[in-house]
Chain A
Amino acid sequence: MLQNHKLSAVLVMLMLMLLGCKSDESVSFDPLPKQNDSNDPLDKYLYAEFQQTFNCMVRYRFVNRYVDDSKRVTPPDRSLVQPYMDFLKDHWVHPYLESGSGSETLIRKLFPAEIVLIGSPMYNLDGTVTLGTADAGVRITLTEVNDFDLENLNWKISQLHVMQHEFSHIIHQKYDLPDNYQKISEGDYTGSGWTIKDYSEMLRLGFVTPYASSDPNEDFAELVSNLLTLPESFFYERFLDINRNELGVLWAETDDGNADPEVVRGKLRIQEKYEAVQKYFKEVLDIDFEMLRTNTLARLFPPSVVSQEKELAASYQN
C-alpha cells in the first residue's frame, strides 16, 4: 500500500514537471531578417551567390554577438559589400573551382557556414589589432572591408592572406595537420612570444612570419596563406633560395647580404614544411597544390602588376 502511495506521489510529481515544461512563448534570437525573405537587392545577391551556392550566410549587418566583447569594430559600408564579395569569389573561390575536382570538392565541402564582414579592423583593448578570425571551422570573420580598393595591391594581398589563413585553419581542423608537421620546428614555438620577434629571427627558425611561431596550427596557416598570396619568385628568394659554394657548402644570404648558416637551416625547414604541404594536399585532399597556387597567384598578380609585385609584397610583409 505504501508502495502505491509512493508511486502515486511520484506520478503526480512527474505530471507537474511535465506541465512545467509546457511553453507557449516564442523567443527569437536572430535580430536580422532572413536573407531569403528579404527584398533588399543586396540580401538577394548574397542569398543567391553564397547561401544557395555554398550554403554560406554572409553577415554584413552589425550584430554584437558576432564579435568578441573585448574587440571594438564597425560594420561595413553596405555599398561595398557586394563588390567585396565579388572580389572574394574571384580571387579565393574561383581558383579552387578551377584547380581540379579535389580542389573544387574541398572548397564546396569546407566553405565556411558563415562569413562575417567587418568594416574596420578589430581593435583590441590592449591596443593591438586583429585582422581576421576563424571559429570552430564554421565562421570566418574578415575585417577592413571599408578599405576596399581593387587598385591597392597591398590591401588585396592582405585580405586574401587573411582568407587563405583562416581557410587553412578550417582545413586542418577537419583533416589534421600534415604528418609530423609540428616536429619540423619542434621546440621553437613560442606561444604569445611571437609578438616580440622579427622576421629575420623567425626565418632562422624556419617560420615565414613571426606569427607562424606561435604554434603548429598558425605555422601551417601562415605557410599556406603566404604561398598563396606572395609572388612565387619573391617567396622563393626570401624563404627557399639556398646556394652551394665552391666547397660544396650550403649558404644563404641574410638581408644584409652576409652568409648565415642559421638562415640555411631555417630555409631548409621551410622547404621541408612546403613539401609536407604539397604532399598533404595531394594525398589527403587530392589537390595539386602547385596548380592551385598558380591559379591563385595569376588572379592576384596579372601581367599589369607583375613588375611591382615583389616590391609590394615586400612592403606588405614588413
Chain B
Amino acid sequence: MGKNILLILLCGLWMLSCQNEEEEIFDQAPEQRIRERLAEFSSQLTTPVHGWKMEYRPTNETGSHLVLLQFGTDGKVNLKTSLPGYEGGKVSSYRVGSSQLPELVFDTHTFFHELFELGRSTLGAEFEFFIERSSSEEIVLKSKSDYYPAATAARMVRADESDWQMLDRQVAYQSFLMGLPVFNTLTIGDQVYGATISPWLGILVLNPVVSGKTSGLLFSVPFKLVEGGMQVLGDHEAPGGLGIIPGGTKILKDEQGSWVQQVVDASSQELGQMEGSHQPPFGIASNALVGLSESPFAQYDQSVLAGLSDAEALKLLAELGSFHILVGGAGVFEQAVQPVFGLPGFIYCFFRWGTLDLADEQPPFSGFEMWFEGEELIRRYLLYALDESQLALSRIGFDFIGLHNFSEENYNTTLSFWSALASDGDRTFTVRYTGRVLYSNAIQFNFELVDGTDSANRILFECLYFL
C-alpha cells in the first residue's frame, strides 16, 4: 500500500513538474521575434536611397577605408571603395540571418574578403558580422569570428550624395597612390622619412632618415584617406627617440616641398586640370606622370576647360605658344615587381605616332596624336602644341617596343635605350629614347623627337613610370 501511495505521489509530482508556470517576458515566441527582428533589419538596410557608409578598419594596426554600400531587396549589395576593382562599385550578395545572434554575411566575394585574405587570411578582417544594434540611422556590426567582448566593431551610418562624391575624389587619389608605392622622402614635423605605402592595408611604412641615410628603424603608421591627402590614425612614436607622429597628421597636403608633394603637383593638379576637358586617358593614368614644371592650363579657369572638346583643347594649346609638355601614357608590366633592388623590372611600351585628324586646322597649328598601347588597351592622347616655327608634322609614323631590365647598377644613371631616325618625306627626325632609374622602383624616361640636328626644334617627353 505504501508503495502504491509513493508511486501515485511521484506521478503527481512528475505531472506538476510538467506545468508551465514560467512568466512570459515577451509577447511572441522566440522564432517569431527573430523573424520580425531580421525583417526589420532587412528593411533598414534597403531603405536609404543613397545606401550606407562605413569606415572599415579591420584592426588597430591597419588603416581605415571608406566603404559605401547599397543593399537591394534581391539579396545583392553594390559596394564601392577607392581600392582597385571597387572604384566603380561591385555587386556581391549578402544575407541576413541568425546563428547565435542575428547576423549580416557578405556571402560572395567582395571587398571585405579581399582584406580577409591578406597575409594568408591572418590580417583579422571580417565578412561575417553579428548585428549589435540597428536603427534607421545607424547600424553597428561586430566581427563574428573575433572573440567577444573584444570583437572588432564596424559602424554604418546613412550615406548621402556627398559621400558618393567624396568617394569619387578618393578614387582618383587612391589611383595615384597605387602607382606610388615608394616615396623618396617624406617630411613630418622636423623628421625626414623614407616611406612605403600599402594602400590595401592603409599603412605607411616609415624609415627615419638619420644623418642623410635611412636608418632601418622601420615602423608603420595607419592612415585613412581624407580630402586631398592621407591622415594618420592615432599617435605613433618613431623608434630611437626620433619623435612622435601625432594622430591627425595630414600627409601630402602640407607644403614640405618634398618629392612626394612634387609628384602630387604633377599628377593631381596638372593631370587633374586636363581631366576636366579630356576624361580619357588621364582619369586613370596611374602609371604615367608628367614631368611638367608649369601647367599650360594654369591661366584658364577650370570651368572653361571642362567644357572643351578635344579639338578645342588642342586649339587652345596651340595658342599658348611654345612649351614642352609631356604626358605619359599607359604601361603594361610584364610581371609583378617588388619595390626592391635586385629584382628585374620590365616596361613594355608601345607608342605610335600618326596624324591628328584636324583636317580644317591651318598652321601654325599642327599636331599629332599618340597612342599608348598595352596588351589589352589602346589609349589615345597626347596633347601638345608647337610654336609657329615648329615642324609641320604629318603622317610621321614610327613604332617602338622597349623592353628593358633595370637594376641597382643603373640607379640615377642615364641610359640610352634607343634611338632611331624617322622621316616624313623630305625631313628627317632623330628620335632618342633615354631613361634613368630613379629611386628603387621608378624610372624616368625621356623621349625626344628632334628635327634634323637642331635641338631647338624638338619635342620632349618626360615620363615617370613606377615599377
- A: residues with CB less than 8 A from B are 2, 5-6, 9, 12-13, 16, 19-20, 25-26, 31-33, 39-40, 60-64, 72-79, 81, 119-120, 123, 127, 129, 146
B68 to chain A, nearest CB (A): 19
Q: A77: which B residues are within 8 A, CB to CB?
A: 92, 108-110
Is B31's CB under 8 angstroms from A25's CB? yes
Contact A78–B91 (Cβ < 8 Å)? yes
Q: Is the CB of B109 within 8 A of A146?
A: yes
Q: Is there contact, CB below 8 Å, between B108 and A120? A: no
> Among B7, B120, B121, B128, which residue has the most Cβ atoms of chain A within 10 A?
B121
30 cross-chain CB contacts under 8 A:
A5-B4, A5-B7, A9-B8, A12-B11, A13-B14, A19-B18, A25-B29, A31-B95, A40-B75, A61-B107, A62-B105, A62-B107, A62-B127, A63-B107, A72-B116, A72-B121, A74-B117, A74-B121, A75-B109, A76-B108, A77-B108, A78-B91, A78-B92, A78-B108, A81-B108, A119-B109, A120-B117, A123-B120, A123-B121, A127-B120
* Chain B residues in 8 Å Cβ range of A119: 109, 113
- Measured CA separation A33–B107 after assembly (Å): 12
| A123 vs B117: C-alpha distance when bound (angstroms) | 9
Of A20, A32, A64, A75, most B-chain CB atoms within 10 Å: A75
**In the complex, are the beta carbons of A75 and B7 less than 8 A apart?**
no
In angstroms, how far is the closest chain A Cβ from the Cβ of B106? 8
Known: A5-B4, A40-B75. A61 touches B116 (CB 8 A): no
Find out whether the CB atom of B116 lies under 8 angstroms from the CB atom of A74. yes
Q: Which residue in B11, B18, B91, B109 is a CB contact (below 8 Å) of A76?
A: B109
Residues of A within 8 A of B95 (CB): 31-32, 61
Q: A2-B4, A74-B127, A119-B113 are in contact. Are A61 and B108 (CB under 8 A)?
A: yes
CB distance from A142 to the nearest CB of B (A): 14
Interface contact tally, CB-CB below 8 A: 76
Q: A9-B8, A61-B95, A75-B107 are in contact. List 19 more A-B contacts (CB 8 A).
A: A2-B3, A2-B4, A9-B7, A13-B14, A16-B15, A26-B31, A31-B97, A60-B108, A61-B93, A62-B127, A62-B128, A73-B121, A74-B113, A76-B109, A77-B109, A78-B91, A78-B93, A123-B121, A146-B109
Q: How many residues of B contact A (CB 8 A)?
A: 30
Determine if B74 is an interface residue (Cβ-Cβ < 8 Å).
Answer: yes
B108 engages A62 (CB within 8 Å): yes
Q: Which of B14, B116, B117 has the most CB of A within 10 A?
A: B117
**How far does the Cβ of A180 sit from chain B's closest Cβ, in whole Å?**
41
Which B residues contact A (CB, under 8 angstroms)? Answer: 3-4, 7-8, 11, 14-15, 18, 29, 31, 74-75, 91-93, 95, 97, 105-110, 113, 116-117, 120-121, 127-128
Complex CA distance for A5 and B127, rounded to whole angstroms: 62
> How many angstroms between the C-alpha atoms of A39 and B76 in the bound complex?
12
Shortest CB-to-CB span from B332 to chain A, Å, is: 15
Shortest Cβ distance from A131 into chain B, in angstroms?
Answer: 14
Q: Let me know if A78 and B7 touch, CB within 8 A.
A: no
**How far, in whole Å, are A62 and B129 apart by their CA atoms in the complex?**
13
**Of all chain A residues, which has the CB nearest B119?**
A123
Instruction: Judge whether A16 and B14 touch: CB under 8 Å.
Output: yes
Q: How far is A175 from B106 in the complex, measured between Cα atoms in Å?
A: 40
In the complex, A5 Cα to B7 Cα: how many Å?
9
Within the assembled complex, what's the spacing in Å between the Cα atoms of A6 and B3?
A: 10
Taking CB atoms, residues of chain B closer than 8 Å to A16 are 14-15, 18
A305 to chain B, nearest CB (A): 18
Q: Give B113 Cβ to nearest chain A Cβ, in Å.
A: 4
B303 to chain A, nearest CB (A): 39
Chain B residues with CB below 8 A from A40, complex form: 74-75
Which residues of chain B have C-beta atoms less than 8 A from A31's C-beta?
Answer: 95, 97
A-B pairs with the 10 shortest C-beta distances?
Answer: A72-B121, A74-B113, A61-B107, A78-B108, A77-B109, A62-B107, A31-B97, A123-B121, A119-B109, A75-B108
Q: How far is the CB of B352 from chain A (nearest CB, A)?
A: 25
Question: In the docked arrangement, what's the CA distance between A111 and B90, Å?
Answer: 33
How many Å lie between the Cα of A72 and that of B145 in the bound state? 11
Residue of B nearest to A5 (CB): B4
A16–B17 CA distance with the chains assembled, in angstroms: 11
A32 and B117 alpha carbons, distance in the complex (Å): 24
Alpha-carbon gap, A74 to B111, bound state (A): 11
Cα–Cα distance between A19 and B121 once the two chains are bound (Å): 50
**Which chain A residue has the least Cβ–Cβ distance from B1?**
A2
Contacting residues, chain B, for A9 (C-beta < 8 A): 7-8, 11
Q: Which residues of B contact A78 (CB under 8 A)?
A: 91-93, 108-109
